[in-house]
Structure 1
């Protein structure tokens, strides 16, 4: 289980997440991901970062089993802070970030791709926030960057997923390709971005972030406050425990650990 960085060609860094079986990240994994993305963006030789994942899915969110194994609220606080740092690292990366998404992209995965600059997805990719089914709240901030407002609300309230093809129609996914072509397609886009002047591409990233209508860090932090309220009420723990024991509605889906 690890986060690794490679440099397949000049100007491009690939940060790969590998936490089998479904890339549900433990607390430390989110911090490691944040550090890797920030380091890649700070490298003066890098002009574009590709965020990728090994395995059958891009990201299944936080490791709920780790949370349920931990006494008190330490794991919950750690996961919230870790996600906050990882999402911010993608958004604030000094150079553009291209997310290469295969299979499921759920929960925290939406936070990552919603803050990326571009998304390339495989034909089997599905995006969603099952937060209400897991006793959590959050990342509506990032889902709202992928789909129109009313669709975001419907997806959030129902915990349904949306396909890569539909996101492509909405313009938030740049390209949809067969899974076996995903890595090459993401690298092709990153290569095109990396041909730009390194100084100018950094200025462009800062300028585009500066004109965003929503402060994504503050917006997501606001959402997290309601997650803490759900935990203090006890309802969140009941849903997480049901998920871990397999008694929750929808348990047994491929994103479950």
Structure 2
């Protein structure tokens, strides 16, 4: 498989999907399309028994949605990569396809997973992280919302509120303490540890594993996806206000925002 923003490799029934969009693997409209296509194809491939999701480079697992595209009305948009009356539908679909992958997905996180990056680890089945990783819902810092549904599921209501209200990063050690991370490893070890778990999973009955994944999704999916729809409703409401545009502009111009409550 060849994609503009991803690399996909398969070995011994384990596929490794690597976000590869320097410098911080920001989620562009093209990456959303690539994620949908890659995970759709992997789900249909009976030779794939588990997937590892990683991030290339030394700056971030994923630095969030591409804010330059978002400001220009591209990222998260509709047909022909343009915003429509339903912004964000493609990003919802990308997360849905990963979450509903027919086989388990293990996220290997070496560095920050923020914003949309947090969304990606939130739809993975398991998370392995190095001590250099961190996690955050930083959207509030740029006049946006997002990630609450994943945070509620992963860290509980109070920590989710702290993350959403402050935009502050949480360390991998803190996430390990909370039980979010399956394995905490030394720097540089996340991919190897995630691959080791993926190989253990791949050694089980492929049919049993696909049914196990489907069954657990049927138990927990409906509530999460309803929460996510509500979350996007409020995100879209906020984007209709001046403060949302000001937050994006201030970030891109590297200045403090001037909030006007309008």
Alignment of 1:62 onto 2:65: yes
Q: In the TM superposition, what is the alpha-carbon distance from 1:79 to its structure 2 partner? A: 6.4
**C-alpha distance in 2, partners of 1:172/1:10?**
27
**C-alpha distance in 2, partners of 1:13/1:229?**
38
**C-alpha distance in 2, partners of 1:49/1:160?**
29
8 Å contact 2:5–2:30 — kept in the other structure?
no
**C-alpha distance in 1, partners of 2:220/2:169?**
26
Name the count of aligned residue pairs: 247
Structure 2 counterpart of 1:185, from 184, 193, 201: 193
The 3 A distance-change label for structure 1 pair 94 and 183 is same
Unpaired segments of 5 or more residues in structure 2? 258-262
Report Cα offsets for 1:22-62 as digits up to 9, x if no partner. Answer: 11111121121122122112210111011111012111111
SS in 1 for 2:250: helix
SS in 2 for 1:145: helix
Q: Which moved more, 1:163-172 or 1:207-216?
A: 207-216
Match of 1:223 in 2: 231
**C-alpha distance in 2, partners of 1:188/1:23?**
24
Q: In the TM superposition, what is the alpha-carbon distance from 1:20 to its structure 2 partner? A: 0.6
8 Å contact 1:41–1:48 — kept in the other structure?
no
Report Cα offsets for 1:118-144 as digits up to 9, x if no partner. Answer: 000111100010111122112100112
**C-alpha distance in 2, partners of 1:143/1:248?**
27
Structure 2 counterpart of 1:48, from 42, 47, 50: 50
The 3 A distance-change label for structure 1 pair 161 and 70 is same
**C-alpha distance in 2, partners of 1:128/1:79?**
22
Structure 1 residue ranges, 4+ long, deviating more than 4 angstroms after superposition: 73-79
Match of 1:4 in 2: 7
Q: What TM-score, normalized to structure 1?
A: 0.90
**C-alpha distance in 1, partners of 2:67/2:83?**
9
**C-alpha distance in 2, partners of 1:6/1:104?**
23
8 Å contact 1:4–1:36 — kept in the other structure?
no
**C-alpha distance in 1, partners of 2:113/2:153?**
15
Match of 2:120 in 1: 112
Q: In the TM superposition, what is the alpha-carbon distance from 1:178 to its structure 2 partner? A: 1.9
SS in 2 for 1:210: helix
Give the 5 Å matches for 1:85-96: 85-96=93-104
SS in 2 for 1:201: helix
Match of 1:253 in 2: none
Q: In the TM superposition, what is the alpha-carbon distance from 1:67 to its structure 2 partner? A: 2.0
Q: In the TM superposition, what is the alpha-carbon distance from 1:69 to its structure 2 partner? A: 3.2
**C-alpha distance in 2, partners of 1:127/1:79?**
25
Give the 5 Å matches for 1:78-157: 80-157=88-165
Q: What TM-score, normalized to structure 2?
A: 0.89
